[in-house]
Amino acid sequence: MSILVRFVTRKKSGGVVHRDQVLEGSRARFGRSADNEAYLPDPRVSLYQAAIEVRANGVFAEGIAGADITVNGRIVGTSVLKIGDVVGVGPYDVTLVEPPAGHAAAVTVELARAMGDDLERLVARSRLDLSGPLLNRRRLSWGLSILVVALFLVWPVAAFFNPARQPDTDATKNFAWRPDMMWNSGEISNAHKPIAQQCNRCHQMPFTMVRDEACGACHEAIQHHADPQKFKFAELTGVLCESCHKEHNGARAITRTDQKLCSDCHGAFRERAPTSALLAVGDFQKDHPEFRPTVIADPLAGRFERISLAATPRPRENSGLTFPHDKHLRPGGIRGPDGLEPLDCDSCHAMAPGGYLMAPVTQEVHCARCHELAFEPVARGRRLPHGNAEAAVKMIREFYADAALRGAFPDPSAPEVVRRIPGNTRITKAQEREALAWADQQSQQATQFVFTSRAVCGTCHVVTQAGTGENRKYGVVKPQVAERWLPKGLFRHSAHATETCQRCHGLDVTDPAKWQARVKDALPAFADAVLALPSAEGELGKLKSAAQILKQAPWSPALARPARDLAANVATGKLPAVDGLKQARRLAEDVVGAAWSDESSDILLPGVQVCRECHVGDAAISWVQPNNRLPSTCGTCHYFHTPTQGPMHPELQTVEGPNVPGHYRTGGVALDGSLKESRSGIRSLGRK
């Protein structure tokens, strides 16, 4: 048994098409579900809405599970059908027709009430998803991508290749914003801020690491670390400036200061460079050699030598000057033009501009108030010029000749013509000869006095003389004061301004015998304090026995009170004995100062262990290091690019040193403000 179902579709043009479906069986269900025998794809139809069944007594229509159907417009539950009856299943009309041969029944199915225009129009008016002309993922994606590439890639690249754009040599004119600034990966270091807006000052070639030539354009005088001919190490020759100096990491300096930079080679230096005279050093705390000041070994030949402070005999300065620190630093003061004047270090020593070195001491500024270079008791105002022996001799002669011819010289032993009342009286030739002979004799005496007695030149200088009688010539050995004793290090006085001078220069720790002798003169109060300490163990015990001897000496009242306070604090247990000892030593240093030194050949330099009181080695991570120590790497004191080596760009000259009379340079960097420049090898930024 089979049922023929004919789906009829009316076209808008009026034509009719149909599709036949033959259903085996006697029952055909109509509904929206696909497993219905007659599938009606319309949302208004239930999943299983109606059924047509061929029974023995006719063809029946029924609603499934209580669903409504209509037969010829009337709502029914079940109904027997006759040919031509129309069953309404939702919007469909199912019409029973005469079955063709071979079929038990036949129906036509037609969507009579098409989904209304209402739905179509509602949908057309509505916007049921987010996409719109603006909110379109594809368009947004393209738009954003093109914008980003154009703005952040094409524009800067185009600007780079713009032929009109050249790096401007005038560093003052380059603060305009440029598109490749958008590529700036981080803040430029402070030193390079003036050229921070000009990317192509450094980035000269696309896709090439910053070339050394770019650095050399400004750092024209930068020096090699070592002679590249002698030391052909890959670490020195095979690297770019950029390998160590990484820019764009913030305002801090871009120099390497890590210990590894140096200790990699210098830690086992003998193996790397057997011919070098340098000592091996890997860490400041562990194995830094004792300081070796550069001193004059032979002043005439100009030969210098580096001698360790720990050597025997100790290195001595050979400056050609006589200057006893102890006489000048006498605790009660020294006799000056205005009575007793106490002096201290900064009476003569001041920091040089730049803060690295101390400014030279000069006679005119520091010595002349007391050492006034007068040569004639009746004319105290007349002073000899300093630094020029010939001019001094000439001045003495001119002074006496003038005095002789002018007259009225207030010296009873002088001839009458020299003492005459000046005025209209003409003098005879014979009187003139007599006067000039006197002048000659006076000037010879004065010259001899000035140069040979220890009152004028000889106070400080070594005097030379050649010839005899009238042809005798005097001269002064040109003093050679070290500008820096340790030219290989870079000591910045301004960075140590929190310390007293005595902390480093007063206490010559490499010569304790001399220091103790001086303490004996100055520190009975210290001795009292030390003796008052309760314990007598170890180092304290030694100091105590030394103090016992010192006790009898005259003492400085300035020290008495703090020393007594200190002793009291230790005695009452307010201060542990070890700390008390430290404070006592500090007191001693502060009072003794440089006063222990009685010879100008003394080298008032601290040994390396004095530095180590504060500076320890590369102690980045250390559980045992006291936290008031400064981890210090090689770069703390030393610099990598050695000014004594040739420049890295040899066509340029090296930096010239300072020109201070009486000072010699022991190598190293310049004395004054040019220090910074010579370190980085910049001579000028090319300002026109």
Partner 1 sequence: MHESILAFRGFKYLKLSALMVAVTAIVYAVHQPTVGPPNGGTALGYALGTLGLGLIIWLAWFGVRKRRYGLGKMLLEDWLSAHVYLGLGLIVVATLHTGFQFGWNVHTLAYVLMILVIASGAFGVFAYLRYPRLMTENRRGATQRELLTQIAELDVKAREISAGLGDDIHGEVMRAQEKLALGGPARRQLSGRDPNCPATAALKRVGDLSLGLPVTDAEKGRALIALLARKVELVERVRRDLGFKAMMDVWLFVHVPLTFGLLASLTAHVVSVFFYW
Measured from the Cβ of residue 380, the count of other Cβ atoms closer than 10 Å reads 10
**d(Cα 589, Cα 503) in Å, to the nearest integer?**
6
CB of 253 to partner 1, least distance (A): 10
Of 194-223, binders to partner 1 (CB under 8 A) are 199, 203, 206-210
Strands 58-63 and 69-71, by their bridges, are: unpaired
DSSP helix/strand/coil, 317: coil
Q: Specify the residue, 209 or 630, whose C-beta has the smaller distance to partner 1.
A: 209
Among 141, 448, 453, 494, binds partner 1 (CB under 8 A): 141
Candidates 121-129, 302-310, 493-501, 517-525: pick the segment binding partner 1 (CB under 8 A): 121-129
Q: Does 631 interact with partner 1 (rule: CB under 8 A)?
A: no
Spatial separation of the C-alpha atoms in residues 350 and 333, rounded to whole Å: 20
To the nearest whole angstrom, how small is the minimum distance from the Cβ of residue 348 to partner 1? 43
Task: Determine the residue type at 674.
Answer: S
DSSP code for 504: I
For partner 1, the binding residue among 152, 363, 445, 676 (CB under 8 A) is: 152
The number of beta carbons lying within 10 Å of the beta carbon of residue 677 is 16
Q: Is 475 helix (H, G, I), strand (E, B) or coil?
A: strand
Instruction: Tell me, rounded to whole angstroms, the distance of Cα 326 from its chain centroid.
Output: 40
Tell the smallest beta-carbon distance from residue 264 to partner 1 (Å).
11
With binding defined as CB under 8 A, does residue 659 bind partner 1?
no
Q: Is 133 in the site for partner 1 (CB under 8 A)?
A: no
Instruction: Please give the span between the terminal C-alpha atoms of the chain, in angstroms, as a whole number.
Output: 112
Q: Tell which one of 123, 378, 379, 568 touches partner 1 (CB under 8 A).
A: 123
Residue 175 token pair:
């603060």
C-beta of 70: minimal distance to partner 1 in Å? Answer: 15
Tell me the number of residues near partner 1 by CB under 8 A: 58
By CB under 8 A, which span of 3-11, 111-119, 337-345, 558-566 interacts with partner 1? 111-119
**Residue 81 sits in the site that holds partner 1 (CB under 8 A):** no
Residues in 242-301 at the binding interface with partner 1, rule: CB under 8 A: 243-246, 248-250, 254, 256, 258, 260
* Binding range to partner 1, per CB under 8 A, among 50-58, 135-143, 457-465, 592-600: 135-143
Distances 607 to 289, 511, 596, 599, 669 between C-alpha atoms, Å: 10, 10, 16, 19, 22
Q: Which of residues 27-46 bind partner 1 (CB under 8 A)?
A: 43-44
Show contacts with partner 1 in window 162-201 (CB under 8 A): 180-187, 199
Residue 151 CB, nearest approach to partner 1 (Å): 8
Site for partner 1 in 349-378 (CB under 8 A): none
Binding to partner 1 by residue 428, rule CB under 8 A?
no
Whose CA is closest to 3, among 125, 100, 114? 100
- Least Å distance, CB 618 to partner 1, is 13
Contacts of 246 (CB under 8 A, 6+ apart): 254
The answer for residues whose C-beta is within 8 angstroms of residue 638's C-beta and 6 or more apart is 262, 488, 489, 490
CB of 112 closer than 8 Å to CB of 93 = yes
- Nearer Cβ to partner 1 (164/621): 621
For 264, the token pair is: 């990699």
Instruction: Calculate Rg over the CA atoms of the chain.
Output: 53
Of residues 136 and 644, the one with the C-beta less far from partner 1: 136
Name which of 126 and 312 has its Cβ closer to partner 1. 126
Minimal distance, residue 189 CB to partner 1, in Å: 10
Sheet containing 16-24: order of strands: 16-24, 2-10, 105-111, 92-97, 86-89, 69-71, 74-76
Contacts of 486 by beta carbon, 8 Å cutoff, 6+ apart: 291, 292, 293, 294, 605
The site for partner 1 (CB under 8 A) is made up of: 43-44, 115-116, 118-119, 122-123, 125-130, 132, 135, 137, 140-149, 152-153, 156-157, 160, 180-187, 199, 203, 206-210, 243-246, 248-250, 254, 256, 258, 260
